[in-house]
């Protein structure tokens, strides 16, 4: 569901002019509203899944931060759709760019914390995904879009791996005596 909402339309960045941004939001307003609402709805199953992964004390705070930044990346475009002036649209787009970078940084935290009690190979995968997310966060702020597809797909694949691991019998997080 998160992937579907993200794939509906690619939002402009602060590198665009205010006029281009305002025009884009005016032209695609209904699709953008649907995309952002779907993104908010998709948070519920993600949170339920994420919190079921382990009893790690950092998991709840990391998921809460992720949810906060996801909601910010959903709300700001809705405000831009309602905003009429180009300068306001540009300023809010810069805010959305920063929220998007923070979202990927929080996704990196999730990738590390969610696997902290798992086997070494899965922790290594989590770290690799975290590195991709941090690189995407930095690249996004610099308006470099090379990782715009790679990092989200890595995160989705990671969540799928965690889902399969959770469904397999006997796949429990490691304890101190089994690491």
- Walk along the chain (179 residues) and give the pLDDT tens digit of each residue: 555 555 567 899 999 999 999 999 999 999 999 999 999 999 999 999 999 988 789 999 999 999 999 999 999 999 999 987 999 999 999 999 999 999 999 999 999 999 998 999 999 999 999 999 999 999 999 999 888 899 999 999 999 999 998 888 765 555 544 44
User: What is the separation of C-alpha 164 from the centre of its chain, rounded to a whole number of angstroms?
Assistant: 20
* CA distances in angstroms from 38 to 6, 24, 34, listed in the order given: 9, 20, 6
pTM: predicted TM-score of the whole model, two decimal places: 0.87
> Where are the domains positioned within the chain?
2-167
Which sign, positive or negative, has the C-alpha torsion 147, 9, 88, 72? negative
């Amino acid at each position: 569901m998160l992937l579907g909402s993200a794939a509906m339309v690619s939002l402009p960045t602060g590198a665009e002019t205010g006029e281009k941004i305002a025009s884009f939001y005016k032209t695609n307003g209904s699709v953008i509203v649907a995309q952002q609402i779907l993104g908010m709805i998709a948070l519920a199953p993600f949170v339920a899944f994420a919190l079921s992964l382990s009893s790690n004390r950092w998991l709840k705070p990391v998921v809460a931060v992720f949810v906060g930044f996801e909601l910010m990346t959903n709300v700001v475009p809705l405000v831009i759709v309602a905003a009429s002036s180009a300068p306001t649209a540009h300023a809010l787009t810069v805010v959305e760019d920063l929220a998007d970078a923070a979202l990927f940084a929080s996704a990196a935290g999730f990738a590390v914390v969610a696997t902290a009690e798992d086997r070494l190979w899965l922790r290594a995968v989590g770290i690799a995904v975290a590195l991709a997310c941090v690189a995407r966060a930095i690249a996004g702020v610099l308006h470099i879009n090379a990782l715009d597809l790679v990092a989200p797909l890595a995160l989705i694949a990671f969540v799928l791996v965690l889902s399969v691991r959770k469904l397999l019998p006997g796949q429990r997080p490691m304890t101190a005596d089994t690491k």
